[in-house]
Amino acid sequence: MQSEPARLAWITGGGTGIGRALALSLAADGWQVVVSGRRPEPLAETAVAGEGRVHAWPLDVADLPAVRQAVPAIEAQHGPIALAVLNAGMYTSVKLDTFKAETFAEHMRVNYQGVVNCMDPLIPLMRSRGRGHVVLVASVAGYRGLPLASAYGPTKAALINLAESLKYMLERAGIRISVCNPGFVDTPLTEGNTFPMPFLMNVEDAALALKRGIYKGKFEIAFPTRFVLLLKLFRCLPYSIYFPLIRKFTGR
């Protein structure tokens, strides 16, 4: 996909982190960008930084009726959505003394169902035009179970599976789908982590890697490369080797 003036991108979770950095990078390339999120203040700040090419659209992706109203309204005001980066998400570490069903339900409601909610009104519009690109932002935490990520990781594994499952149908309809699997990125989502984060990336480098993958039309956009390759190797290991290695690397 080439970046062209007047093309419209919609980014959820666009007020902070990778979403914000990607919005500003796309805007610098000539895109018009709509950023959504639950908090109006970061969205407004991102819009100001976008110097007229970034537009704030407050939205809770977990609210399906609101999403169903927002997507056609965005198109009515700003034009057809050519690129949707479904990036909104949350992360809470889970320990035995903080294990609550509500934590898992909230992660699934935001990280997984929030993506599905956005695709619900978006796919028919893209299908009617016979074109579009949808990017689901998952995580390398979806490759295999990791300590403290028992609420977060399964939602990202579900997004990877969702992208794989939808690829066949969407491509026949002219719609490209990609899944983005970042490693550790220095964002508000990770700033509370108290454990070592190998190959930690700054947010601008992560957004650039994501943008390059979008422009190349890649199905999986994963970074940083060395960390991704390491975790993909771990994914192939039998449990008898995998669990001791993870315990050694994480100290958990």
Q: What is the pLDDT of residues 151-167, one digit of tens each?
A: 999 999 999 999 999 99
Is 152 an annotated catalytic residue?
Answer: yes
Residue 1 within a domain? no
Residue 2 within a domain? no
pLDDT bucket at 4, cuts 50 / 70 / 90: very low
* DSSP string computed for 219-246: SEEEESHHHHHHHHHHHHS-HHHHHHHH
CATH number of the domain where residue 81 is located: 3.40.50.720
DSSP 8-state assignment for residue 145: -
Buried b (16+ CB within 10 A) or exposed e, 139-159: bbbbbbebbbbbbbbbbbbbb
pLDDT digits 0-9 by tens, 166-207: 999 999 999 999 999 998 777 666 555 555 666 678 899 999
85 in helix, strand or coil?
strand
**Cβ within 8 Å of residue 139, ≥6 positions away:** 152, 153, 156, 181, 182
Residue 3 within a domain? no
Residue 56 within a domain? yes
User: Based on the structure, what is the number of domains in the chain?
Assistant: 1
Cis peptide bond upstream of 244, omega within 30: no
Domain, as residue range, for 118: 8-250
The residue that leads in pLDDT, 77 or 3, is 77
pLDDT digits 0-9 by tens, 95-151: 999 999 999 999 999 999 999 999 999 999 999 999 999 999 999 999 999 888 999
pLDDT at 20 over 50: yes
Bridge partners of 235? none
Residues 118 and 115: their CA atoms lie apart, in Å, by 5
Residue 216 within a domain? yes
Q: Which residue has the tokens 């930084």?
A: 49
Distance in angstroms between the alpha carbons of the first and the last residue of the chain: 42
Residues 42 and 61: their CA atoms lie apart, in Å, by 16
DSSP 8-state assignment for residue 108: I
User: Which entry of 152, 215, 239, 242 is annotated as an active-site residue?
Assistant: 152
Q: Please answer whether residues 198 and 206 qualify as being in contact, where contact means their C-beta atoms are separated by less than 8 angstroms.
A: no
16 in helix, strand or coil?
coil
Residue 99 within a domain? yes
